[in-house]
């Protein structure tokens, strides 16, 4: 019975399930990190796009000033032209950054997709392992029940007095508590028993313990 309990606790299938669960847990935290990254990169993209809009608006306003005819002072017009040149450079920088950012996001999304697919596969695999473990543990449990039943059946065949004596000895002395007697010698401790004890052993149903080692003794031919 103890062996079966150990067998149950150490079954290979539960180890496999636990390993797969740990792997999946790691995978999920990896995915969460990537999702966090993705959100940050998207936020950065929105910032760049806003900046781009501002610059575009600035360019439009300065173009209006330059060609609107309201300003006629050459010095001022030259300054506006200078400013427009600078804005146009800034705009092209921002456009490059936006493209880079989009590529970055695309890469993260691709990686995230792969990881999510992998996670799905691992989830399915874990489910398989869990089913397998369920089968294995059910089979061990059935084995255990069967043994328990046969033990109970055996116990009904043994006299209650003997059973009581046996459980008492087991509690006080541990597991090795039954000894055979052969040729008047207790095989549990190799000490000769008194002739009266040996004689009494022939009485059917009698419960005796060794005078020396205290084990339950039985005659063997
Ligand atoms: Zn003995």
Can you tell me whether residue 210 is helix, strand or coil?
A: coil
The DSSP annotation for 130-197 comes to: HHHHHHHHHHHHHHHHHHHHHHHHHHHHS-HHHHHHHHHHHHHH-S--EEEEETTEETTTTEEPPHHH
Q: Write down the pTM of the prediction.
A: 0.62
Task: Mark the residues whose beta carbon lies below 5 A from ion ligand 1.
Answer: 186, 188-189, 210, 212-213
Going along the chain from its start, the domains and CATH numbers come out as 2-157 (1.10.287.1700), 160-219 (no CATH)
What pLDDT shows up at residue 22? 96
Whether 89 contacts 97, CB under 8 Å: no
Calculate how far, in angstroms, residue 150's C-alpha sits from the geometric centre of ligand 1: 29
8 Cα: distance to centroid of ligand 1 (angstroms): 36
Cβ atoms within 10 Å of 166's Cβ, excluding its own: 16
Per-residue burial over 45-61, b if 16 or more Cβ lie within 10 Å, else e, is: beebeebbeebeebbee
Among 49-53, 69-73, 211-215, the range scoring the smallest mean pLDDT is 69-73
Q: pLDDT tens digit string along 54-100?
A: 999 999 999 999 998 888 899 999 999 999 999 999 999 999 999 99
Check whether 109 has a pLDDT greater than 90: yes
pLDDT one-digit tens code per residue, 33-43:
999 999 999 99
Residue 200 Cα to ligand 1 midpoint, Å, equals: 15
- Calculate the average pLDDT of the chain: 92
Q: How far is the CA of 160 from the centre of ligand 1 (A)?
A: 23
196 alpha carbon – ligand 1 mean position (Å): 15
Ligand 1 centroid from CA 180, angstroms? 9
């Amino acid at each position: 019975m103890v062996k079966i309990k150990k067998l149950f606790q150490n079954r290979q299938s539960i180890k496999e399930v636990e390993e797969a669960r740990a792997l999946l847990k790691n995978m999920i935290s990896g995915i969460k990190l990537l999702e966090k990254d993705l959100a940050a990169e998207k936020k950065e993209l929105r910032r760049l796009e806003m900046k781009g809009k501002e610059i575009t608006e600035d360019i439009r306003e300065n173009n209006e000033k330059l060609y609107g005819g309201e300003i006629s002072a050459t010095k001022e017009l030259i300054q506006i032209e200078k400013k427009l040149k600078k804005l146009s450079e800034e705009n092209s920088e921002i456009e490059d950054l936006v493209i880079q950012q989009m590529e970055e996001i695309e890469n993260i999304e691709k990686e995230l997709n792969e990881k999510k697919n992998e996670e799905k596969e691992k989830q399915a695999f874990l489910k398989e392992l869990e089913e397998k473990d369920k089968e294995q543990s059910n089979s061990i449990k059935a084995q255990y029940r069967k043994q328990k039943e046969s033990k109970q059946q055996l116990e009904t065949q043994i006299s209650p007095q003997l059973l009581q004596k046996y459980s008492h000895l087991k509690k006080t002395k541990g597991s090795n508590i039954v000894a055979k007697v052969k040729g008047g010698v207790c095989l549990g401790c190799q000490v000769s028993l008194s002739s009266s004890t040996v004689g009494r052993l022939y009485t059917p149903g009698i419960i005796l313990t060794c005078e020396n080692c205290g084990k339950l003794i039985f005659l063997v031919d």
